[in-house]
Amino acid sequence: MAFKFQNILNYRKTILDKKYLELSKVRQEIASLNLKIFDVQSSVNSYKKSYPARFFNISNIHDYNLIELRFKSLDFKLNELLKTKESVELELEDKKTLLIKAKIEYEKINKLKQKYLAIDKISELKHEELVTSDFTSNRFLR
């Protein structure tokens, strides 16, 4: 016999697959942010190392302001990326909890299906046993 809740099981499986996809997208976004953060941190570090050499080549206040502005913009960009990463990590945690809930719902229906199949198999074996017993009892009566 067919499992009468197969449509629900398929629907739960679809939801579970979507949750896995959403989680992987958020993880991919975090990986991308980590690369951007690393690049900006490298730029900030190299800028700090070259800062004394640039400072000695300053001839007017405009050059000094440009150097300071470049450093401040890199620092601002780094802080913004770190804030974005924080919010994406919170989103990742939310996606993980939603995935766990979807997996629990899927497993509930799947276990019900397994029980249904086991009961169906037991019924089938009992029926075969009855047929065999009936067949053998009719054979001995003849």
φ, ψ for residue 57, nearest 5 deg: -90, 5
Do residues 77 and 33 touch, judged by C-beta distance below 8 A? Answer: no
Q: How far apart are CA 87 and CA 23, in angstroms?
A: 14
pLDDT digits (tens, 9 = 90+) for 18-45: 999 999 999 999 999 999 999 999 999 9
102, burial (CB in 10 Å: exposed 0-12, middle 13-18, buried 19+): buried
Question: pTM for the whole thing?
Answer: 0.73
pLDDT digits (tens, 9 = 90+) for 50-82: 877 777 777 788 877 888 898 899 999 999 999
Task: Provide the CATH topology of domain 7-137.
Answer: Helix Hairpins (1.10.287)
pLDDT digits (tens, 9 = 90+) for 81-104: 999 999 999 999 999 999 999 999
